[in-house]
């Protein structure tokens, strides 16, 4: 290139300079990490066009899903709430959705209440429809892994599963909250609580590994706190069954908790221990774990970050054993549970759990005793209250005996017409005695004798009051006169 003076001038483009911007590790509280983030989209392993797949089971009615011969698959037929004639789903007819607990890459979880027994459950529904028979079979394997895993106190219990309109539903135990919510609410968890969570999770991981299962997605979002206070491992959607050999399709979990050997496609139980170590490191230090970059690489080189200096030496040693970069030298669940520090926590936690169960048992007994006392007092106080509320007229409605020895009843039957004078003719002449007439003004008289009606409406009793009316007969001696009322006749 030439300038105006005719001299050649050369221009050199600046060479690009690549700077490595290292993002320092910090706590979630200091950085203000958002609490909830949108889940990543599920990996699409096949074309979603349904016309290239073989037709799958697309029946409208629900179908139970189970791989055990002794499982109960008649819960849909025996349901007293579900009706196949209604257009609503079985899920909508038999369960009431109370709250959406969360959503992931493959499904949504709801807190539901059963309309049959009134109990609360957690129901997981697959997010996408089955993309073919192969995709349906992969989804069904999650049910098979749930059923293979025996019941354990530190694992979320599985109840039943069914498919309907190309969606899979799994009904599991409902927990109080997740460990992710606990970590977000409390950025300074006491180390004693972290040790208890670690002991519970080690027992859950050992239970899985003893059944030849690898979780592959251990993280705070998949760890729950039950209503019994125990830490429970859940969400077995990515579990690998090692009993089937190497012929399995593994899917990596969250990259923040990913073991380094998984980059070389080495799947096995040590990957769960590494993910568990990263989870405990996050809880103990409130560390905002990176998803990639140099900080991600440093956490997988066998060194703890500076934030881990605030924890005890025993916990640091245990974290180094769980986060060892070599999976062969990494601690197993059995070795970790055999450490002296873990044994002390187990003893302390066992005493604490026993005391909690005793307190719950005493509360239950006190509640039952209280209800029994209230029940007894109700039947004892009820007759006393009935007698206390009786009116003075009711107290006078008892039978009395006058000086002549004749039983006098002054009770009136309910609804008796006191103005019925058909049986009391003739009426007394009240004009002859103004004092006596005013005394019996409101009552009919027979021979100047006031009449009162008793509960036995077949009789009318005359009051034994002395009479001085001129219409009184010669045999009137002040004795009460009883007149029998004719019995009522009914048409045949």
* Domains defined for the chain, CATH in brackets: 50-172 (3.30.200.20), 176-338 (1.10.510.10), 399-492 (no CATH)
Query: What is the rounded average pLDDT of the residues 88-117?
Result: 89
Asked if 217 is an active-site residue, the reply is yes
Q: What is the pTM of this model?
A: 0.66
| Least confidently predicted of 87-101, 137-151, 445-459 | 445-459
* Mean pLDDT in residue range 65-86: 84
Whether 444 has a pLDDT exceeding 60, the answer reads no
Q: Please, which pLDDT band fits residue 14 given cuts at 50, 70 and 90?
A: low
- Is residue 232 within 8 A of residue 154, CB to CB? The reply is yes
**Cα 294–Cα 297–Cα 300 angle in degrees, nearest 5:** 155
Q: Over 80: is that where the pLDDT of 168 sits?
A: yes
Give me the pLDDT at residue 371, please.
80
> Which of 87-101, 133-147, 233-247, 383-397 comes out lowest in average pLDDT?
383-397
Q: Is the model's pLDDT at 284 over the cut of 70?
A: yes
* Cα separation, 189 vs 206, whole angstroms: 25
Q: Mean per-residue pLDDT for 62-69?
A: 87
- Identify the residue with better confidence: 249 or 345: 345
Least confident of 34-43, 133-142, 169-178, 238-247: 34-43
**pLDDT tens, residue by residue, 290-326:** 888 888 888 998 888 888 888 999 999 999 999 999 9
DSSP string, 350-405: HHHHHHHHHHHHHHHHHHHHHHHHHHHHHHHHHHHHHHHT--HHHHH-S-EE-TTS
pLDDT of residue 27: 74
Helices then strands, each counted (H, E), the chain: 12, 17
As annotated, the binding site includes: 124
Among 117, 181, 185, 217, the one annotated catalytic = 217
Q: Which residue has the higher pLDDT, 294 or 275?
A: 275
pLDDT band at 343 (very low <50, low <70, confident <90, very high): very high
What stretches of 237-343 adopt beta strand conformation (E)?
240-241
| Cα(118)–Cα(116) distance, integer angstroms | 6
Q: What is the pLDDT of residue 357?
A: 79
Task: Please give the pLDDT value at position 19.
Answer: 46
Angle at 56 between CA 52 and CA 60, to 5 degrees: 130
Which two structure tokens, joined as six digits, stand for 115? 């309309």
**3-state secondary structure at position 292:** coil
By mean pLDDT, which of 238-242, 377-381, 383-387 is the weakest?
383-387
Q: What is the pLDDT of residue 22?
A: 54
489 confidence band (pLDDT: 50, 70, 90): low
- Looking at the predicted structure, is the pLDDT value of residue 243 above 50? yes
Predicted pLDDT of residue 435: 45
> Left if phi > 0, otherwise alpha if psi is -120 to 50, otherwise beta: which for 163?
beta
Q: Tell me what pLDDT residue 349 has.
A: 84
* Long-range contact set of residues 480-488: C-beta below 8 Å, sequence gap at least 24: 480/402, 480/404, 480/406, 480/408, 481/446, 481/447, 481/449, 483/423, 483/446, 483/459, 484/458, 484/459, 485/423, 485/457, 485/458, 485/459, 485/460, 487/458
63-67, 158-162, 176-180, 370-374: the lowest-pLDDT one: 370-374
Give the C-alpha distances (Å, rounded to integers) separating 38 from 35, 45, 71.
10, 21, 36
Q: Which two tokens stand for residue 10?
A: 């050369």
Q: Does pLDDT of 173 surpass 90?
A: yes
Of 77-86, 291-300, 433-442, the poorest mean pLDDT is in 433-442
Of 456, 464, 458, 468, which Cα lies nearest the Cα of 481? 464
Average pLDDT over the chain reads 75
pLDDT at 210: 93
Mean pLDDT for the stretch of residues 372-382: 78
Q: How confident is the model at residue 367 (pLDDT cuts 50, 70, 90)?
A: confident
pLDDT digits (tens, 9 = 90+) for 408-428: 444 444 444 444 444 444 444
Cis ω for the linkage preceding 345 (within 30 of 0)? no
Binding site listing for ATP:
124
**Are residues 208 and 272 in contact, defined by beta-carbon separation less than 8 angstroms?**
yes
Helix or strand holding residue 179 (H, E):
helix 179-185
């Amino acid at each position: 290139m030439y300038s105006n003076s005719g001299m050649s001038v050369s221009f050199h483009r600046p060479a690009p300079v690549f700077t490595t911007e290292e993002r320092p590790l910090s706590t979630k509280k200091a950085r203000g990490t958002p609490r909830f983030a949108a889940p990543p989209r599920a990996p699409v392993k096949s074309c979603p066009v349904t016309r290239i797949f073989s037709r799958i089971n697309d029946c409208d009615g629900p179908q139970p899903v189970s791989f055990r011969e002794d499982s109960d698959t008649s819960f849909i037929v025996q349901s007293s709430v579900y009706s196949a004639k209604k257009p609503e789903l079985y899920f909508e007819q038999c369960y009431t959705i109370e709250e959406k607990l969360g959503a992931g890459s493959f499904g949504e979880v709801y807190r539901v209440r059963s309309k049959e027994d009134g109990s609360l459950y957690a129901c997981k529904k697959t997010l996408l429809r089955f993309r073919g028979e192969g995709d349906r079979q992969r989804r069904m394997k999650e049910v098979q892994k749930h059923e293979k895993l025996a019941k354990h106190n530190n694992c979320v219990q599985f109840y039943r599963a069914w498919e309907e309109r190309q969606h899979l539903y799994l009904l599991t135990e409902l927990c109080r909250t997740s460990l992710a919510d606990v970590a977000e609410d409390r950025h300074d968890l006491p180390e004693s609580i972290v040790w208890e969570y670690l002991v519970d999770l080690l027992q859950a991981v050992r239970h899985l590994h003893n059944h030849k299962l690898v979780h592959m997605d251990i993280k705070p979002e998949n760890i729950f706190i039950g209503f019994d206070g125990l830490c429970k491992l859940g969400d077995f959607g990515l579990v690998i069954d090692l009993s089937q050999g190497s012929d399995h399709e593994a899917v990596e979990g969250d990259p923040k908790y990913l073991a380094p050997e998984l980059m070389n496609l080495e799947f096995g139980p040590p990957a769960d221990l590494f993910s568990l170590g990263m989870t405990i490191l996050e809880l103990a230090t409130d560390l905002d774990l990176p998803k990639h970059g140099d900080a991600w690489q440093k956490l997988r080189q066998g060194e703890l970050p500076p934030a881990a200096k605030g924890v005890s030496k025993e916990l640091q040693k245990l974290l180094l054993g769980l986060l060892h970069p070599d999976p062969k030298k990494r601690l197993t669940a059995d070795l970790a549970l055999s450490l002296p520090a873990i044994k002390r926590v187990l003893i302390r936690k066992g005493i604490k759990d026993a005391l909690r169960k005793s307190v719950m048992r005493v509360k239950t007994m006190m509640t039952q005793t209280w209800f029994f006392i209230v029940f007894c007092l109700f039947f004892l106080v009820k007759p006393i209250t009935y007698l206390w509320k009786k009116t003075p007229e009711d107290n006078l409605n008892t039978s009395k005996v006058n000086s002549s020895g004749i039983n006098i009843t002054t009770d009136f039957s309910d609804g008796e017409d006191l103005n019925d004078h058909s049986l009391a003719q003739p009426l007394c002449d009240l004009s002859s005695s103004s004092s006596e007439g005013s005394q019996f003004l409101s009552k009919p008289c027979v021979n100047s004798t006031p009449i009162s009606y008793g509960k036995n409406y077949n009789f009318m009793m005359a009051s034994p009051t002395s009479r001085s009316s001129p219409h009184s007969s010669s045999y009137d001696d002040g004795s009460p006169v009883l007149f029998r009322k004719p019995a009522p006749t009914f048409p045949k």
